[in-house]
Structure 1
Amino acid sequence: MVKQTTIASEITLSGVGLHTGKEVTMTFKPAPINNGFTFVRVDLEGNPIIEADANYVVNTQRGTNLEKRGVMIQTPEHVLAAVVGCDLDNIVIELNSSELPIMDGSSKYFVEAIEKAGIVEQEAERKVYVIKDVITYTDEATGSEITVIPSDNYCVTAMVDFGTKVLGTQNATMKNISEFKTEIANCRTFSFLHELESLLNNGLIKGGDLNNAIVYVDKEISSETMNNLKKAFNKETISVKENGILDNLTLHHPNEAARHKLLDIVGDLSLIGIRIQGKIIANKPGHFVNTQFAKKLQKLIKIEERNQVPVYDLHKEPLMDIHQIMAILPHRPPFLFIDRILEMSDSHVVGLKNVTMNEPFFVGHFPDAPVMPGVIIVEAMAQTGGILVLSTVPDPENYLTFFMKIDNVKFKQKVLPGDTLVFKCDLITPIRRGICHMQANAYANGKLVAQAELMAQIAKKQ
């Protein structure tokens, strides 16, 4: 079992937002298990929390932007990439502004801060979604495409082609997340000269300078443009290197642009909210296609989790047979709807019913096309849960169980004669004063057939 992790102590960094030009102070703080990655705007009333969640993506122009209830988080992808690259599961990131600091345009300084704070294991198992099938998202307008295929670990390949001579076609691969810190983290963001002119003219990249972005010169620089660049970056002279980039920095890798696109993928896909075991292959990636893919994968994972069918050995000797069940439950045929208890703990119970054509309710419930009534399925789930709550008293034969509430009932599949129903009931809250609040699911034929939130109370027979 791989355990969840967080940082050992809090640590603070300061910098400038690339687009807003505002000074921002950011503090990494330890977070409890299952917290995930959350941002806290300490500059706003109530310190609102924004989770790193693909559902909150509202804009992907020149970065990924999140918004929850009117509260913005701008350009979090480099920080999120660092958090994933440092193998963290839980962290709180406090900010006194909407935009995260650009630093040098990479994840390098965030990784260094996390390593300085230290990493600790937590007492909970890490959640990982294992990719079993090929999943693809394509942006028809741009031809950008991201695919994930089964793999033994999380790895990413990014392929970029910007149609310019100065950059050409580049590829980058991360075979394991352990390579992020040394091979990907220091790769800086980049822009083309024609984009830079547009950004400056529109009042963006107020926090930019030649130290936090690689600028590829893809056009002839006019004297007017040169003067504008000198003014914008407060430089007396600006020149173009032989490799086609503006001066004042040196590339860390020949394919630094592709590696930075890979960095962005790692950050953007963290918005799925769960670790992925699979190989990501991205062709012409960008924040839009990255986050759309994250939304698609997140939705598929949630559907699968919601419909996930537990597997039990039905031939194994049960924990309780029908005679032991009748020693606990007051119900009797034809109103006893469970045949066996397969397993039970302090917080859950699993029961089974073999549905036969001889069930008395089939006589009147669509006799020409028999279907098990939904209310009977709910009652069977409740009887299964009744075993759990009655097992908490020394003399269950002296107690009765009564419904208090039934919520969120859903019927998803028909149950027919010949089906084997498996009921799984999990406590939502601990049993107190004989009150049991549980989530109940019923499965048959490898599918979820019904679910409900049930609340019941046991009372002593009068």
Structure 2
Amino acid sequence: MSSRLRLFCSVSTRSAAVFVSSNVFATPERREPLLLRYRAARLSSLRPGARTVASVTRPTVLSQESSRQRTLAGAHTLEGVGVHSGEHASLTMGPAQAGGVRFRRADLEGCPEIPADLDHVVGCEMGTSLGAGDVKVQTVEHVMAALYAAGVDHAVIELRGPEAPILDGSFQRYLAAVSDTGTVELDAPVEVLSVRGRLTVSTPSGSSYVVTPADALRVSATIDFEHQAIGRQHGALDMTEETFRREIAPARTFGFHQDAEALRARGLAQGTSLENTVVLDDDGVLNGSLRFENEFVRHKIGDLIGDLALIGRHVRGHIVSERPSHEGNIKLARTLLKHAQTDSHDLPIEVDRIMEHLPHRYPFLLVDRVVEFESQKRIVGLKNVTISEPYFQGHFPGHPVMPGVLIIEAMAQAGGLLLMDMVPDPENKIVYLMSLDNVKWRKPVIPGDQLVFEVEMVQFRRNVCKLRGVGKVDGELVAEADMMAGIVDR
């Protein structure tokens, strides 16, 4: 069967079926067995309206591929109105060497940035919004879907306005902008999140998802609206840039005329028009013909891909979704990432495996265990401080205190583990500490303490990294530092 898009639906007011074929609708004699198999699988696994559930037989995992990460080859600017804010905005997509996708509010003092990741999702109502402190960006799913479809891992999205422009309501112009700009490879392997077992997620509002293993990203979706132009629609996508461009990108967002007044009273849909939204009333579509018979479910698939892009990894798995929503999509993405982070390095990582990645040895190996690890983002390690440490013989006799510089060294070693995970050949690399800033020691560390250090990635560019580290004992801060380190050949 072709690896291209397999999305062919019949649509009625109450029911419809997915008929999978390479390029044409399935013949009538083949439809019923396909429909029965689909219904049986869906009814046995999807329970709309159930409590939020996440369960796996085996967790998802993080890994790397031989293919390289990509960024934009140049910059491209788009302008338009925000569908919810109603405000005019200018959006420029530009290259970045690392750091994932970041939104930069160029219209605000200091040009604050918001990482496009799940930790910064602040709203899911009628779109996905990101925020950091008081700074927010609304409706990011269309531009994120286009970047994901084109395989862009790192980019800076400079935005002058509170919301990404809705343009014509589809993903098409964003994807065209990426294509016109082009992409270039970076010297880093693609980060992959692979589903290794069955996982389910559902929300009280009726969105539900079942995820199973697959060699690539496949998305199947079902929507159900009590409207003659929509009804119940099904669709499925084998994700490639070309299938997304041809079958998903043109599909526009949609809404109901009867809901407009209530939405605007809540501060939403301020920029909605017949030029950027498929608007439906009791009689049908107000603004001309549809681009696809099942344009509505196709757009929902595009929104799901845009929300999954906030994982920051290339997803490998088959997602079957019933009544997908932004709220449900974000819950799904968080569940996938949570399981992957938990198992990505078979945590905890003990000292024998730590020595495979760090050149330090006793008595200068100061990381006993890694208990949390989020690739390219953060690491949590610990050091059990015992009276047998050699430095206690002279620091100080009768009053043993762990030297402050060794507390910072322990943080730096944990940061080194985080950096070594980012290079394809860590056995041939070594990390050198380059500078320290904002170093503070708050409390002494003594024998019997368990020193826990948390190190997060601040910036990574051309093998030079900025890290932020804190050390804690019993949850209380004992030391902190901003560190800069470089990766060099051994």
TM-score normalised by the chain length of structure 1: 0.64
Alignment partner for residue 163 of structure 1, among 226, 229, 234? Answer: 226
Q: Which stretch has the larger CA shift, 72-81 or 249-258?
A: 249-258
Secondary structure (helix, strand or coil) at the match of 2:285 reads coil
2:304 equivalent in structure 1: 265
- Match of residue 113 from structure 1: 177
Match 2:236 to one of 173, 192, 211: 173
Q: Determine whether 1:405 maps to 2:398.
A: no
- State how far apart, in whole Å, the 2-side matches of 1:19 and 1:177 are: 30
C-alpha contact (below 8 Å) 2:87/2:162 kept by paired residues = no
**Corresponding residue for 2:104?**
40
Q: How far apart are the structure 1 equivalents of 2:224 and 2:231?
A: 6
Corresponding residue for 1:214? 278
Please tell me whether residue 246 in structure 1 is matched to residue 286 in structure 2: yes
- 5+ residue gaps in structure 2? 1-65, 363-382, 392-402, 412-425, 436-450, 455-470, 472-480, 482-490
CA–CA distance in structure 2, aligned partners of residues 149 and 451 of structure 1: 36
Q: Any idea what the Cα deviations from partners look like across 1:278-308, whole Å, max 9, x if unmatched?
A: 1111110001111122222222222223645
Between the aligned partners of 2:167 and 2:80, the Cα distance in structure 1 is 6
Query: For the residues of structure 1 that align with 2:387 and 2:153, how far apart are their CA atoms?
Result: 38
CA RMSD, Structure 1 to Structure 2 (Å):
3.6
Offset from partner CA, 1:315-360 (integer Å, 9 cap, x none): xxxxxxxxxxxxxxxxxxxxxxx9x99986xx734989xxxxxxxx
Post-superposition CA distance 1:186-219 (Å, at most 9, x none): 10000123222422454532222112111222x3
Higher Cα radius of gyration: 1
What secondary structure sits across from 2:197 in the alignment?
A: coil
Distance of 2:133 and 2:119 partners within structure 1? 12
- Alignment partner of 1:21 is 2:23: no
Q: Does 1:74 align with 2:114?
A: no
Partner of 1:50: 114
DSSP-derived class of the 1:120 partner: strand
| CA-to-aligned-CA distance 1:83-128 (integer Å, 9 cap, x gap) | 1011111111000111010001011000111111111111111111
SS at match of 1:212: coil
Alignment map for 1:6-405 (pairs within 5 Å): 6-33=71-98, 35-139=99-203, 141-178=204-241, 179-202=243-266, 204-217=268-281, 219=282, 244-247=284-287, 249-305=288-344, 307-308=346-347, 348-349=358-359, 404-405=405-406
After superposition, the Cα gap between the structure-2 partners of 1:91 and 1:182, relative to the gap in structure 1 and judged at 3 Å, is same
**Residues 356-379 of structure 1, C-alpha deviations (whole Å, 9 max, x = no match):** xxxxxxxxxxxxxxxxx9557997
Q: Secondary structure at the match of 1:211?
A: coil
Classify 1:375/1:2 alpha carbon distance in 2 versus 1 (closer, same or farther; 3 Å). Answer: same
Query: How far is 1:57 from its partner?
Result: 1.7
Q: CA distance change for structure 1 residues 378 and 273 in 2, over 3 Å: closer, same or farther? A: farther
Q: Percent identity?
A: 34
2:150 partner letter: C
Cα distance per residue 1:406-435 (max 9 Å; x no partner) = 4789xxxxxxxxxxxxxx9999941679xx
The runs of 5 or more residues in structure 1 that have no matched partner are 220-239, 312-337, 353-372, 383-401, 410-423, 434-449, 456-462
Between 1 and 2, higher relative CO (CA 8 Å, sep ≥ 6) is seen in: 2
**Secondary structure of the structure 2 residue equivalent to 1:2:** strand
CA separation of 1:193 and 1:341: change in aligned 2, threshold 3 A? closer
| Whole-angstrom distance in 2 between the partners of 1:194 and 1:134 | 40
- Compared with structure 1, are the counterparts of its residues 66 and 293 closer, same or farther at alpha carbon in structure 2 (3 Å cutoff)? same
What secondary structure sits across from 2:269 in the alignment? coil
Between the aligned partners of 1:341 and 1:181, the Cα distance in structure 2 is: 44
Q: Secondary structure at the match of 1:98?
A: coil
Q: For this pair of structures, how many residues does the alignment match? A: 330
Q: CA 1:375–1:176 in structure 2 vs 1: closer, same or farther (change >3 Å)? A: same
Aligned counterparts of 1:379 and 1:2: Cα–Cα separation in 2: 44
Judged with a 3 Å threshold, the aligned counterparts in structure 2 of structure 1 residues 275 and 308 are, in CA distance, closer, same or farther, namely farther
**1: CA distance, partners of 2:153 / 2:388:** 37
Q: In 1, distance between residues paired with 2:132 and 2:74?
A: 27
- Matched position secondary structure for 1:278: strand
Match of 2:320, as an amino acid? I
Q: Secondary structure at the match of 1:100?
A: coil
Please identify, of 113-122 and 197-206, the stretch whose mean Cα deviation from structure 2 is larger: 197-206
